[in-house]
Amino acid sequence: MRDVAIIGVKNTKFGEMWERSFRDIVVEAGIGAIEDSGVSGDRLDGMYVGNMSGGQFVEQEHIGALIADYSGLSLDLHIPSTRVEAACASGGLAFRQAVMAVASGHEDIVMAAGVEKMTDVSSTAASSALAAAADREWEGIMGATFPGLYAMIARMHMDKYGTTSEQMASVAVKNHKNGSMNPIAQYKSPITVDSVLNSIMVADPLHIFDCSPITDGAAAVVLAPADIAHEYTDTPIYIKATAQASDTIALHDRRDITTLDASVSAGKRAFEMAKMTPADIDLVEVHDCFTIAEICAIEDLGFAKKGEGGKMTEDGETAIGGKVAVNTSGGLKSCGHPVGATGIKQVVEVTQQLRGEAGGRQVDGAEVGMTHNVGGSGATAVVHILARER
């Protein structure tokens, strides 16, 4: 297998983009990443597009072909383009497919993109589309919502480990602070623990400020074999590990409802592949679709002892400048969560950090970063480790 490097990245603005279409935003991200990489677009050998629910959000399927066409890569070139779906982990999985295509030697210059346009439908319809990532026949039929499923994780975490609503709120407070320094973020205003606790209850114990928003957005990266990456950029970022794991589709079938075993498994495989431990990681973008999800993520990936993720957050150890910087982008919570784009956005954020281009939210001397993207209530987890040094 060949070493693989990131040579170009681009996030669009994240937020409500009423005036722009699905294809507009993903083409903006794609062209941006191509420009950033310095390759000519017609050198692309393949394209992988993460998208969760184009069919439900914009009534458009056949996303791979659509994006290749509107990127100007179909006429004459006929570049192969593949849509990848794993619910909210679609972007992370598209990136993984692209990495494997380059690593295998089958393709050289490859784009991984992610996109979701969620505000063209009502918020009820959007919630219903998202609920399709859980078990429709045995969770959805009982009135389960995504906040409801994560609320049941949170309730058990509180019961078992004494995690508090204040600790969960401190995840949101930190991520809004980080997001306030990110120009692409959907929400740039800082919040307080009190404003989280006083916001309306969505699914007890989760308040609306414990939940990530409905977002439009796209992100793209360009990959190349590490051996030729320096022909295009002075700051290639190397992929040290790619890992993916599955678990039960329904939350009720999990071994331990407070642990996402897919995250544990993907994390372990990634650390083995990179020959690293959590102590080597300077920053990590984790899947904080809800505040409790970030607490579980840092525990499941080995940054916190099981049950101590809430306390670690409250103590400031996951802030920029802390033991490990978690969600410097603002995470899904403040930066926004266009579901199919999130996994790619995480890779873009870590790349910008490792290049030293993260502005006010820069982690000093960042050498190694990680991304962690979850689908559903934990049925898929995709983890990557990126580094400045090959």
Partner 1 sequence: MSVARFWRKQINRYNLVGTHCKTCDSYYYPPRNVCPKCRRDGEIEPHKFSGPGDIVTYTIIHTAAEGFEHQAPYVLAIVQLDEGPRFTSQIVCNPEDVHIGMKVKPVFRKLGESGDNGMIYYGTKYVPA
Task: Read off the amino acid at residue 35.
Answer: E
CB 336 within 8 A of CB 215: yes
With H, G, I as helix, E, B as strand and everything else as coil, classify residue 112. Answer: strand
Pair type for strands 283-285 and 368-375 = parallel
Output the smallest distance, CB 124 to partner 1, in A. 5
Closer by beta carbon to partner 1, 66 or else 129: 129
Output the smallest distance, CB 263 to partner 1, in A. 19
Closer by beta carbon to partner 1, 71 or else 215: 215
Q: Give one DSSP letter per residue of 8-33, joined into a string.
A: EEEE---B--TTS-HHHHHHHHHHHH
- Tell which phi-psi region holds residue 100, choosing left (phi > 0), alpha (psi between -120 and 50) or beta: alpha
Tokens coding 88: 């909210």
Pair type for strands 216-225 and 4-11 = antiparallel
- Tell which phi-psi region holds residue 365, choosing left (phi > 0), alpha (psi between -120 and 50) or beta: left
Task: Read off the amino acid at residue 223.
Answer: L
Output the smallest distance, CB 210 to partner 1, in A. 12
Long-range contacts (CB closer than 8 Å, 24 or more residues apart) made by 160-165: 160/258, 160/307, 161/258, 161/306, 161/307, 161/308, 161/310, 162/307, 163/292, 163/295, 163/307, 163/309, 163/310, 164/310, 165/197, 165/205, 165/207
Torsion sign, CA atoms 182, 367, 96, 131: negative
CB 286 within 8 A of CB 298: yes
Number of neighbouring beta carbons within 10 Å of residue 114 = 36
Closer by beta carbon to partner 1, 62 or else 136: 136
List residues near partner 1 by CB under 8 A.
124-125, 127-128, 131, 136-145, 147-148, 151-153, 155-156, 159, 200-206, 250-253, 257
Output the smallest distance, CB 288 to partner 1, in A. 18
Closer by beta carbon to partner 1, 35 or else 204: 204
Instruction: Exactly one of 157, 207, 337, 372 is catalytic; name it.
Output: 337
Pair type for strands 216-225 and 283-285 = unpaired
Closer by beta carbon to partner 1, 36 or else 299: 299
Q: For residue 320, give every residue at least 6 positions away whose Cβ sits within 8 Å of its Cβ, in sequence order, or none.
A: 178, 328, 361, 362, 363
Instruction: Exactly one of 88, 211, 296, 335 is catalytic; name it.
Output: 88
Known catalytic residue: 337?
Answer: yes
Output the smallest distance, CB 308 to partner 1, in A. 20
Output the smallest distance, CB 120 to partner 1, in A. 17
Closer by beta carbon to partner 1, 124 or else 277: 124
Task: Kindly list the catalytic residues.
Answer: 88, 337
